[in-house]
Structure 1
Amino acid sequence: MIGLYIADLASGSGPSPALSVSTIDRRLSGLAWNYAQRGFALDRKNRHIATVLAGIKRKHTRPPVQKEAILAEDILAMVATLPFDLRGLRDRAILLLGFAGGLRRSEIVSLDVHKDDTLDSGGWIEILKNGALISLRGKTGWREVEIGRGSSEQTCPVHALERWLHFAKIDFGPIFVGTSRDGKRASETRLNDKHVARLIKRTVVDAGIRSELPEKDRLALFSGHSLRAGLASSAEVDERYVQKQLGHASAEMTRRYQRRRDRFRVNLTKAAGL
């Protein structure tokens, strides 16, 4: 019966539309947990379940869709589209800090000025002479993210952060908050991580990045993860430093983010003598 249920999920022949392979995997895990709570066992390795699931994966599995990496020249073009009013200062700090730190959008908006400022804090920032040190509670636990000062004030993420905090008069609580309707005052309400996604998409269009594509396609290419992929693809340093910055548990995961940087860097065709 479970095998038929899984097949229905994949085909969409039941009351719901067809689901992706990853969603079916999650549904099956949920069923196994539910069975266990009721004192029953659901063995995912059972040959009936395994055979149906393997068939679904052979037929429907596709390579994962990766968002386009925002490279250094892209992020510079994006921040150049922002005004120098209060909102512009905030959004400039978000983009530069998110890129330089390789931060997830949820991590960006979860930051507080100090430790334990708010109950929903995901971390805090200490601004030092040579840069900023972020203590961050990520998916893999607590980690420290070092963000050094840039080569110029116009592109320095730490300087952008300092300007936002100064003009927004923020010295406690969430770092990235909303502004009043007239854009002259900072509120006390923490930004939603969707603001980061919308900001990225808007500035990508305004900066003319991938302008050869229709706007709809350009918007679909970029997301919050584009900042993390951009740092991994742009930073010409040892892989272990990128892995530490992104908080990845494995080097293999980091390599998935290093999209264009390592493409054809090693030419095995020529190395083989062709």
Structure 2
Amino acid sequence: MSKQYKEQKGEKGLTVVGADRPALALAADLASRVAPNVERYLLRGLEGSDNTRLAYSADLRSYEAYCKKNELAPWPAALETLAGYVAHLADVGRKLATITRHLSAIEKNHQLLGLPSAVNDPALDVLRKGVAREIGKKQKQAPAFSVPHLKRTIDRLDLSRPDGLRARALLLLGFTGAFRRSELVGLNIEHIEMVHDAADEVLVVTLPKSKANQAGNIEQKVIFYADNPAYCPIEAYKAWVALLAGRTQGPLFVSLKRGRPSEPGKPTDKRLADRRVNLLVKEHLGAKYSAHSLRVAFITTAKLAGQSNDFIKNQTKQKTDAMISRYTRLDDIIKYNAGRALGL
């Protein structure tokens, strides 16, 4: 794995990390010089780091394009470079949350390159506070939909076609399981099984990994039958899986191969893309919603039904009550107000 990495001089004489240097060079070099069992664990760590960098890739491309345009060295980033980039993002109308995410991506890439980072410099923190005061802190959040709205959406689907059956399964499983978009995309058929006991028959979904569970500890969600089969997530799941040609493993939600315009698409074995899941939610629930609305709507609906935070966290796998409060959408101060129930 070991190789020599070149350094080149930028047009302003600053050191630039060569483009041929892998982001995980230091750990990769170490892996080539240790015992096989140590190398195995290092490689597992590298896989996780690659996934993190992939999630930030668009932000890093934006940052590197800014540096190239302004003849600046991106790695390691000078404090002045980072300050200019933050001001640039604010000037072009990026939200505070977006700017923070870009800085997180830059910080992570410095770690992966084994380079010192100025992202947490106190001067940059002062700049970020100034940007926050200038553009405001309110982050755009995915709205929650109501159960009646979801039912109306399901009623409009053409269940004689594969795309209708897929949409019904995705919406109902996503909502009742409080799934993150990445979890829906990553679901495999072998992760899901019907479980019977003396009281219930339920669908148990095992998540090998999730956003909050990078170590691979076993996490499970339970999907229950609904009283009305038309809106039952388990029935929707069964109807969709029946179209997958008897598969017992592989991705649950797959793309459809289109034929002629009048013909329904046929399921492929290609996993549905992350972006496509978001577009499907918008297409069916409405443009203001996103895939994250499935999770938000579960939490909001459960809170309105009087469910405890502990019960909610059993499904969402969130760690704190503060996260439950953050995800609960009760913004309508007329509809959701304790002043209605004072008994006067």
TM-score, length of structure 1 as denominator length: 0.76
Q: Is the 8 A contact 2:96 2:132 kept in 1?
A: yes
Tell me the equivalent position of 1:180.
Answer: 257
Matches within 5 A, 1:3-152: 4-12=80-88, 17=92, 19-29=94-104, 30=106, 34=110, 40=116, 42=118, 44-46=120-122, 48-84=123-159, 85-114=161-190, 124-129=191-196, 130-136=201-207, 137-141=209-213, 142-152=218-228
Deviation at residue 41 of structure 1 after TM alignment? 6.5
Deviation at residue 230 of structure 1 after TM alignment? 0.8
Is the alpha carbon distance of 1:246 and 1:25 closer, same or farther for their aligned partners in structure 2, counting shifts above 3 Å? same
Instruction: Point out the more displaced range, 92-101 or 240-249.
Output: 240-249
- For the residue of structure 2 that corresponds to 1:154, the secondary structure is helix
Are 1:190 and 2:271 an aligned pair?
A: yes
Is the alpha carbon distance of 1:203 and 1:184 closer, same or farther for their aligned partners in structure 2, counting shifts above 3 Å? closer
Is the alpha carbon distance of 1:61 and 1:178 closer, same or farther for their aligned partners in structure 2, counting shifts above 3 Å? same
- For the residue of structure 1 that corresponds to 2:226, the secondary structure is coil
* Percentage of identical aligned residues: 24
Distance in 2, Cα, partners of 1:94 & 1:32: 33
Distance in 1, Cα, partners of 2:290 & 2:311: 23
Residue deviations 1:210-232 (CA, integer Å, cap 9, x gap): xxxxxxxxx1x210011111111
Q: Is the 8 A contact 1:96 1:157 kept in 2?
A: yes
Deviation at residue 94 of structure 1 after TM alignment? 0.8
Is the alpha carbon distance of 1:157 and 1:261 closer, same or farther for their aligned partners in structure 2, counting shifts above 3 Å? farther
Tell me the equivalent position of 1:208.
Answer: none
Deviation at residue 26 of structure 1 after TM alignment? 4.5
Instruction: Kindly provide the amino acid, as one letter, of the partner of residue 78 in structure 1.
Output: T
Distance in 2, Cα, partners of 1:266 & 1:55: 36
Q: Is the 8 A contact 1:150 1:157 kept in 2?
A: yes
Is the alpha carbon distance of 1:26 and 1:103 closer, same or farther for their aligned partners in structure 2, counting shifts above 3 Å? closer
Q: Is the 8 A contact 2:221 2:315 kept in 1?
A: yes
Distance in 2, Cα, partners of 1:171 & 1:40: 49
Instruction: Kindly provide the amino acid, as one letter, of the partner of residue 128 in structure 1.
Output: V
Are 1:166 and 2:247 an aligned pair?
A: no
Q: Is the 8 A contact 1:149 1:156 kept in 2?
A: yes
Distance in 2, Cα, partners of 1:53 & 1:261: 27
Residue deviations 1:172-215 (CA, integer Å, cap 9, x gap): 2211222332336422111112222122111124xxxxxxxxxx
From 203, 215, 219, the counterpart of 2:284 = 203
Are 1:255 and 2:336 an aligned pair?
A: no
Distance in 1, Cα, partners of 2:271 & 2:108: 37
Instruction: Kindly provide the amino acid, as one letter, of the partner of residue 223 in structure 1.
Output: S
Deviation at residue 10 of structure 1 after TM alignment? 4.0
Is the alpha carbon distance of 1:194 and 1:6 closer, same or farther for their aligned partners in structure 2, counting shifts above 3 Å? closer
Q: Is the 8 A contact 2:107 2:117 kept in 1?
A: no
Q: Is the 8 A contact 2:187 2:252 kept in 1?
A: yes
Distance in 1, Cα, partners of 2:257 & 2:119: 55
Tell me the equivalent position of 2:231.
Answer: 155
Instruction: Kindly provide the amino acid, as one letter, of the partner of residue 225 in structure 1.
Output: H
Distance in 1, Cα, partners of 2:188 & 2:117: 44
Instruction: Kindly provide the amino acid, as one letter, of the partner of residue 152 in structure 2.
Output: A
Distance in 2, Cα, partners of 1:43 & 1:179: 43
Q: Is the 8 A contact 1:9 1:18 kept in 2?
A: no
Tell me the equivalent position of 2:291.
Answer: 224
Instruction: Point out the more displaced range, 126-135 or 22-31.
Output: 22-31
Which sections of structure 2, spanning at least 5 residues, go unmatched? Answer: 1-76
Is the alpha carbon distance of 1:265 and 1:189 closer, same or farther for their aligned partners in structure 2, counting shifts above 3 Å? same
Is the alpha carbon distance of 1:72 and 1:268 closer, same or farther for their aligned partners in structure 2, counting shifts above 3 Å? closer
Q: Is the 8 A contact 1:35 1:42 kept in 2?
A: no
Is the alpha carbon distance of 1:10 and 1:3 closer, same or farther for their aligned partners in structure 2, counting shifts above 3 Å? same
Larger of the two Rg values belongs to structure:
2
Instruction: Kindly provide the amino acid, as one letter, of the partner of residue 201 in structure 1.
Output: K
Distance in 1, Cα, partners of 2:115 & 2:256: 52
TM-score, length of structure 2 as denominator length: 0.62
- For the residue of structure 2 that corresponds to 1:249, the secondary structure is coil
Q: Is the 8 A contact 1:132 1:158 kept in 2?
A: yes
- Corresponding pairs, count: 247
